[in-house]
Structure formats: C-alpha cells, structure tokens
Chain A
Amino acid sequence: GAGVSQSPSNKVTEKGKDVELRCDPISGHTALYWYRQSLGQGLEFLIYFQGNSAPDKSGLPSDRFSAERTGGSVSTLTIQRTQQEDSAVYLCASSAAGGNSYEQYFGPGTRLTVT
C-alpha cells in the first residue's frame, strides 16, 4: 500500500516569505508527527496529532510555526516569515493507534532552504 508522502520534496524560499509543507499519512493511521532534521543529525520533535487534535505542540520552535490536520488525514506545517535557521529537512511520520510497537512510518521529507 501507499506510504507516507510529503510535498514538495524541495523548497527554496527567500527570507521573510511564508511556506506550507504538506503530509499525507498512511490511510487509517490516526497519529501524525512532524520532525525537523538538520544535515546528518537526529530528529527534533515539532508536533504530534492524534486525529485532528494536537495534544503536544511543545516542540514548535516559535510562534512562526503552526500546523493543522484536517479530516484525520492530511496535515500542513506552516512557517511564517521564514529565517535562514529554518533551513532543514522536515519529516512527517504516521503510526497506527494502539499496539505495542509504536512504529512510526516516515515520509521522504521536504528539504527547505531559506536564502
């Protein structure tokens, strides 16, 4: 079946512009996560959705970052007034509710470059 997809795969934007990053999770997965990864580094947690609700937004770096999820499916991460330090790969993951494995399935990421 289809995995997690993200778009665009690459985004180059000028400092100060707004960007929207999209994530399509695996069908039926109720949990959705956004992470940020700097070159060759580990994952920085941004936000977690369960259904359309975000019980944990603690990782969002500033109020310029926001995310929403609609219909328990597609999620959009929005970065307003982008800064150069926002340049990174933004990864989305989804997982099924319940179970003991807590496996997260990742998309290929969106590489954001702020010039």
Chain B
Amino acid sequence: TQLLEQSPQFLSIQEGENLTVYCNSSSVFSSLQWYRQEPGEGPVLLVTVVTGGEVKKLKRLTFQFGDARKDSSLHITAAQPGDTGLYLCAGVRSNYQLIWGAGTKLIIKP
C-alpha cells in the first residue's frame, strides 16, 4: 500500500515553463520533506515543511504543506535543465521513520 501518492509520475517540459507536482496522502504527518535525486546519486533534502498551510520558497521552487498536513505541492517557476531529476516526498511519522512516495521524474528540455 502506497501511503504517499505522487503525481504525475513523469513530466517532460521545455525550459522556461512552470510546473507543479503533488504529494498526497490520507494520513497526517508531523512534517513532510522533499528530496531531489540525480542519476547515480542518493536523494538530497530540499526542504522540510512543518506547519499546516506553510509555504517555503527556495529560489524558483515553492513548497506548500496542506492545512491538514496530509498533502504537499512543489511548484517550479521558469524550469531549467538543471532542475531535471527524480523528486521524492517523504512524510515524517516518528523521530526516525519516513514514509516515501514513489517520486516524480522530471525532465527539462533545453
């Protein structure tokens, strides 16, 4: 059972376009994390959102945590080829357990 659903599973767009990817669950999490993974490497943490309704910005990336702390979105403005990668969300359940989504594979074409 996939507790965290990510959509879309795959997205290929042109450089300069905007995009939004989603991470949804029926469960409540104390916080939620977004990671980016490039080929041949492990995931790297981008952001942790903690408060329901919280919005965090990281340059062209905007992360939002749903009011009920069950879902999150990642919006990228003016996407660049360097944004290409696998974006993974992970819900924090306890002080060690992360529940992982299956990821969104993003390709930005120059």
- Size category, A interface: 20 to 34
Q: A4 contacts which chain B residues (CB < 8 A)? A: 42
List B residues 36-81 near A (Cβ within 8 Å).
40-45, 48, 50
Most buried by B among A31, A43, A101, A108: A43
Q: B40 contacts which chain A residues (CB < 8 A)? A: 108-109
List A residues 31-62 near B (Cβ within 8 Å).
31, 33, 40-45, 48, 50, 56
Q: Are A42 and B50 in contact (CB under 8 A)?
A: no
* Inter-chain residue pair count (beta carbon < 8 A): 57
Q: Are A42 and B88 in contact (CB under 8 A)?
A: yes
Q: A91 contacts which chain B residues (CB < 8 A)? A: 42-43
Q: B31 contacts which chain A residues (CB < 8 A)? A: 100, 102
Chain A interfacial positions (CB closer than 8 Å to B):
4, 31, 33, 40-45, 48, 50, 56, 91, 93, 95, 100-104, 106-109
Task: Give 12 new A-B contacts, CB below 8 A, not counting A45-B100, A102-B33, A106-B41.
Answer: A42-B101, A43-B43, A43-B88, A93-B42, A100-B31, A102-B31, A103-B45, A103-B48, A104-B43, A104-B45, A107-B42, A108-B40
